[in-house]
Amino acid sequence: MVCYFCADIPVNRNIIIKISKMNILLKSTTVIDSTSPFNNKTVDILIEDGIITDIDSTLQSIPNITEINLADLHVSRGWFDSSVSFGEPGYEERETILHGLDVAAKSGFTSIALNPNTLPITDTSASIGFLTVKSQQHAVNLYPIGALTVKSEGKDLAELYDMQQAGAVAFGDYKKAIANPNLLKIALLYAQNFNGLVQSFPQDNSIAGKGMVHEEEQSTLLGLKGIPSLAEELQVTRDLFLLEYTGGKLHIPTISTAKSVALIKEAKTKGLAVTCSVTTHHLKLTDNELVKFDANYKVQPPLRTQKDITALHKGIQEGTIDMVTSDHQPIDIEHKKVEFDSASYGTIGLESSFGVLNSIFDIETCINLLTNGKEIFGIEDITIDKGSTANLTLFSPKKELIFDQKDILSTSKNSAFLGKSLKGQSYGIIANKKMILK
């Protein structure tokens, strides 16, 4: 729906508005932005041609304006997710690019980093160009992550520099560990020539073996093959040693153990340029969920213990963990609704991210976690102020809900948070001179 007239926008309607053809007035909205002079103030915000032109306690309506009046309306800088998978090209039955970007927008994200786990693998400048062209008219900014190695096979480096020139913001083989330490060493050395960011998935496959879940009491009770924490921690240790030797920038995505937090904290005290992320499901769910043998809980890294969750929370509070990601990974029903042993790894998470984080942390911390990481990936972070480009997320932090099927916007429905209590809802976004509300 495209609207050109003055109107109050109701909740629960799919609305896409092109701001370039109108003015937008956000009424009675509370700003949550630690970088803004209007932080924690309830104001009206006027947006004209994609620019915030006025912010005040009360702004009068003007002709040809679209007023946005939503219950408990809050606004923040646009949210960013550093690890998102769709499907296109190759797995369109899981999720297409354009529909996935709509899901991201309605979930509150104005920017996402897209993983290279497509078919073919995103490992050339041409494949990066396909993604950027496909997404360029959307409200959500899509930033491709190029594969670190050709076909993500871990044998030969992909054309990293060419991919960066085409728009790649980082390089990593999604959920595939680099077994050859010399290959990672060369990647870290080479990427320094163009300030590239290298990612390394934290799992030593020789230790993980054929494990599927966390190796501890639950795996034994359930008779499922386990992956010990050691598999992650050995890989993190190795990668940090390599980084100390080579220099450069290393990002370790989706850590999950207490020891990994400690290792990265120590590396940062040495001045190493290492960053890391954690998923929303690793901040909320333990391996106790596995008693249901529900494949939605089959994820990489595996769900760990409450001790690990406590350490991850502390790592966030201390600043050791740089960002949180949904690690959104749509999987079609044919590969998820099967026996646990045969099911594919992964859970969707865009729709539930805010509700999970807002149920764990205070709202300021929650929003900081949803906006952190942009600088690491070379993405501009725009404050809420007069004269700034409108790159905003609209949300309400109060609503409590039980997350169920009707809350899933993605084509694939493999959510680990079905039936879980969440807090807060996203209304949508304003970005790239467009507004998308759900």
Give the list of residues 6+ apart from residue 269 with CB closer than 8 angstroms, or none. none
Q: Is 327 tagged catalytic?
A: yes
Q: Are strands 109-114 and 79-84 parallel, antiparallel or unpaired?
A: parallel
Cα–Cα distance measured from residue 177 to residue 259, given in angstroms and rounded to the nearest whole number: 18
Name the DSSP class of 21. Answer: G
Cα–Cα distance measured from residue 143 to residue 131, given in angstroms and rounded to the nearest whole number: 8
Of 123, 327, 404, 407, the active-site residue reads 327
Cα–Cα distance measured from residue 348 to residue 136, given in angstroms and rounded to the nearest whole number: 23
Buried b vs exposed e over 204-238: b needs ≥16 C-beta within 10 Å? bbebbeebbbbbbebbeeeebebbbbebbbbbbbb
On whether the CB atoms of residues 201 and 172 are closer than 8 A, the answer is yes
DSSP 128-176: HHHHHHHHTTSSSEEEEEEPSBGGG-SSSB--HHHHHHHT--EE--TT-
**Mind telling me the catalytic residues?**
327
